[in-house]
Amino acid sequence: MQKPQRGAARSKLIAVVDWRPSPASLNDITVERRIIGKAAPVRYFLANDEGDFTPEILGANIVIVWHNTVISSATIGRLKGCRAIIRNGVGYDTVDVAAAARRGIAVCNVPDYGTEEVADHAIALTLALTRQLFPLDAEAKRLGWKIHPMKSLRRTRTRTFAVLGLGRIGTAAALRAKALGFRVVFHDPYLPNGVHKAVGIERAATLPDLLRQADVLSIHCPLSAATRHLIAEKELALLKPTAYVVNTARGAIIKKTAILAALREGRIAGAGLDVIEDEPLRTAAEAATPNLIATCHAAFCSVEGMIEMRSTSARIARAGVLGEPLENVVNGVAAQ
């Protein structure tokens, strides 16, 4: 007779909570069910915000939550029997990790699933800006043939690609930029000496030093209290008027009003923003900002990347209901 799986019980539940305005899972949890198997039932929920959390979600053993769904300390205080909150993605700034730790609830993320996609997206935005693809496209479609942005087109090998945050994605973007011929320099105060030698790029000792050198500033740091509005009026003023800003990390790292004003006033040459503070863009005036390329917080997206992300979070959820060690815990709480 086969022994029952350790920790399995009919009363256990894994809740997958997606964002109702734009469900990233496309209303599908077949990946999660395949990996979790008989360890616990898996149910799918849509929510505009945490106010939509049902008693079933609040009573789940594991909560897998997609982006844009905030879980505050108030909601964490209402969870009953929850062992882990798993953020489907890299960033976990939407979850109050300290409140979860006080309740003994582990918070986990999926830090590695979209490394290639986000780095590729950062480079795509960079090339669209530096090679002026959209202005040239618009001119060609007017049935004209005047290369209006001629003075903006510069040789890549004469340009500096400045990386803010040299983690997994920042490193991947730096290596791609280096392969294209950019001079690459980074700033990351949390990394030890010698990292630049291992990667074969240069290091800026301070953020102002990085900004003054940048022809393209590419942002790859997490959002935290220390990095919120890390790039605001003062920092943008240090950039060259010919510089471009690319953000595929978190919107609120850049102060929205500051960068939109800098673009309108021509104090920087352009920006490629996959993420933006208080996203999405809120008004027609914001959308009409000159020299702005905006994408829909989609840098992480690919068929392969989504499967990898969901597989990882499901694997962590399965371990959680079985009482096994958890991967990628970000708040120091081990499974009990």
Which residue out of 279, 286, 324, 327 is catalytically annotated?
Answer: 279
Does 250 participate in catalysis according to the annotation? Answer: yes
Distance CA(229)–CA(256), nearest Å, equals: 9
Q: Edge-to-edge strand order for the sheet containing 183-187?
A: 202-203, 183-187, 160-164, 216-219, 244-247, 270-273, 292-294
Q: How far is CA 65 from CA 18, 31, 264, in A?
A: 6, 15, 37
Which residue out of 297, 310, 315, 318 is catalytically annotated?
Answer: 297
Q: Is 133 exposed, middle or buried (0-12, 13-18, 19+ CB in 10 A)?
A: middle
Does 297 participate in catalysis according to the annotation? Answer: yes
Which residue out of 250, 310, 315, 318 is catalytically annotated?
Answer: 250
Distance CA(253)–CA(257), nearest Å, equals: 12
Beta carbons within 8 Å of 53's beta carbon, 6+ residues apart: 17, 45, 47, 75, 78
DSSP 297-333: S-TT--HHHHHHHHHHHHHHHHHHHTTPPPSSBSSSP
Does 43 participate in catalysis according to the annotation? Answer: no
Catalytic residue annotation: 250, 279, 297
